[in-house]
Amino acid sequence: MAMAVSDKKNEKKVKEDFPLLWRQMNGQPLVYLDNAATTQKPLSVINRITEFYKNEYATVHRGVYALSQDSTIECELVRDKCRGFLNASMKEEIVFVRGATEAINLVVSTYGEEHVGAGDEVIITTIEHHANLVPWQQLCERKKAILQVVPVNDRGELDMTAYEKLLSNKTKIVAVGHVSNALGTINPVEEITQLAHTVGAKVLIDGAQAVPHLSVDVQKINCDFYVFSSHKVYGPTGIGVLFGKKAILEKMKPYQYGGDMIESVRFEKTTFAQVPQKFEAGTPAIAEIVGLGAAITYLELLGYEWIQRHEGDLLAYGTQQLQKVKDLRIIGTAKNKASVISFVLGHIHAHDIGSILDQCGIAIRAGHHCAQPTMKRFGVPATVRASFAVYNTHEDIDKLIQGLKRVQEVFA
C-alpha cells in the first residue's frame, strides 16, 4: 500500500499499486486519463474482494449461522466507514445503492414525488451531468412543475446572483453537482445549501466527481442528500452511497419493494423496516460493499492533503502545457477546479483526437460527457477531456502533449 509523501519516487510507487497501469496499449505504455469516467483499482481493493469471495462470502442480514453473521458485520462496518468518509452524524444515514445515478433516482421517486407539485420549482444548473438533470426534468413534466436552471459564466462558474434570484417559496428542491464532470468546476455547495434553506428547499449534492478529489463533510455543507459512486473512487462498480438526513429518510416511502426491507408482511398489510434497510430491497452487492470499504481505506492511507496537493500540481502543470499547444482552447477555466481539463483543438473533431491518442497508448475521453447542455452553452459539439487521478504523473501529461502533436501532424 502506498503511503503519502510528496517526492517523485512515491508518485511512481502509487502508480505501481494499480496493476492495469502496468500493461501496454497499442504497443505503448498505457497512459490512463479517463478518471472522471471511472478509476482503476488498486491491488488492495482487488485482493480484498478476492479474499472475501474465497473465505468469507455469505448473504447478509438473514442467516443465523456464523458465516452470514460475519458478512453482515463486515458490511455494516463499511456502512460506518462511509459515515466517517462523509462525516455523517450516524450510520443510519448511509444507504447502499448501485451508484450515484440510482441514488438520485431514489430521491426523485420518493421525496420528489411526494413534495413537488404543480407550479412548484426545482433548481439545477447548466453544467449538470445528465444523471442529475433528466430525473428532475421528468419529475417536473409529470408534476407540471417548473425546472429552473442556474446559468454559468464563460469560465464555467455558477452565476450565484442569478441563483439567488431564482430561489423563492416555490422552490422545493435544489440539485447541484459538487464538481462538474465536464469542466472540473468546484461549485460552492455550502453557500448554495445555505441559500436554499432560507426558502425551505431541500438540497441534493451529486458528489460523484468530488469524493475522489476532495474531503467531504456533509454536516458542514448541511445538505439534505449527498450521493457518490464507488467506481469513481477506486472501488468496484455496482455500488454507491446515498447520504440522507435521518429525519428526512424516515418520512420517505420505500423506493423498491422486496426482501430485507420489511418489518412484517400479511396479505392485508405490510410494514417496512427502519432506515436505511427500508431503501435496500433484495440481496445487496455484498462483495462490492466490501470492496468500497477497501477503496476508502486506500484513500485514507494516501490522505486527502497529499491527494489535493498532488492533483493540484497535475492540474497546474497540465493546464500550463496544454496552453502551449497551437490552436488548443480549454473549455472551463474556473478559479476553483478539480483535476479535469476539457479542450478543443482547432477544427479537429474530438473523436478523431481520441482515436489517434489511443494509437499512442493514451486513454482519454472524447464526446459530450453526458453533459450536452454544457456543450451547447460553450458552443461546441464535444470536447476532449483529460482527467487526472492519484496515479497520474507529469510524464503522463508530457505523453499527452506528444500525442496531440501527432494529431496535428495527421491533420496538417
Average pLDDT rounded to a whole number, residues 54-77: 94
Q: Which helix (H) or strand (E) holds 243?
A: strand 240-244
Mean of pLDDT values over 76-105: 98
Q: Are 113 and 125 in contact (CB under 8 A)?
A: no
| Residues shown for the chain | 412
Residue 8's pLDDT is what?
Answer: 53
What are the tens digits of pLDDT across the range 98-145? Answer: 999 999 999 999 999 999 999 999 999 999 999 999 999 999 999 999
* Rounded Cα distance, 237 and 54, in Å: 19
CA max distance for the chain: 74
Q: pLDDT tens-digit profile of 175-218? A: 999 999 999 999 999 999 999 999 999 999 999 999 999 999 99
Taking only the tens place, the pLDDT of each residue in 312-327 is 999 999 999 999 999 9
pTM of the model: 0.96
State pLDDT tens for residues 239-252. 999 999 999 999 99
Q: Are strands 121-125 and 383-387 parallel, antiparallel or unpaired?
A: unpaired
* Average pLDDT value for residue range 3-27: 78
Instruction: List Cβ neighbours of 76 (8 Å cut-off, separation of 6 or more).
Output: 91
Q: Delineate the domains of the chain, giving CATH numbers in brackets.
A: 8-41+303-410 (3.90.1150.10), 47-300 (3.40.640.10)
* Whether 403 contacts 362, CB under 8 Å: yes
Query: Does 370 qualify as catalytic in the annotation?
Result: yes
Query: Residues 75, 140, 360, 370: which is the catalytic one?
Result: 370
Q: 12 pLDDT band (50/70/90 cuts)?
A: confident
Whether residue 9 has pLDDT greater than 80? no
Predicted confidence (pLDDT) per residue in 268-318, tens digit? 999 999 999 999 999 999 999 999 999 999 999 999 999 999 999 999 999
Is the pLDDT at 7 greater than 50? The verdict is no
Which contacts (CB < 8 Å, 24+ apart) does range 271-275 have?
Answer: 274/92, 274/250, 275/92, 275/93, 275/95, 275/244, 275/246, 275/249, 275/250
